Amino acid sequence: MKKLFLLFASVVLLSGCATMSETDKLANCKYTLKSVEISEYNVNSLSFDIVIAITNLNRKDPTTLKRFEGELSMNDTPVSKINLDEVTIQPNFTHQAKTHITVPMSAFGSKLLGLVSMNSATIDYHLTGTMYFEGPLGAEIPVPIDIGRIGGYNT
């Protein structure tokens, strides 16, 4: 019975160490909403190209983003869900995660629609959601993010 307990305790401690290591890697990631730009428009919808920069500040280990689920808002108006697929980010590297969304005109108020169509610098783009990273034994570690930028121009 004592050996079984020691074996179980060892497995729990090793898993805890692996989780701490993975948590340390995630703490060293930086997220930036790099750009939101209109790519197409018509009377029914607007299409946007969105770039999210994910920087792995860790100097030794890569980290794997399993998926991202979030929502894009413009001037506090939710306009679209955003999803990203799995990607591995090498140490000390910035990955530019790109996605394309199409938003129906009905999602915009008339004031916001005017600002968006002019690519106005007064639009506050905001992205909230959860990044899921690869953890020990295939577990996913959720990391909530809340990032934004002002204006429709690249910086």
Q: What is the pLDDT of residue 26?
A: 54
Which amino acid is present at 32?
T
| pLDDT tens string 55-111 | 999 888 888 889 999 999 988 889 999 999 999 999 999 999 999 999 998 888 777
| Topology adopted by domain 2-150 | Immunoglobulin-like (2.60.40)
pLDDT surpassing 50 at residue 7: no
Give pLDDT, residue 141.
Answer: 86
Please indicate whether residue 22 or residue 80 has the higher confidence score (pLDDT). 80
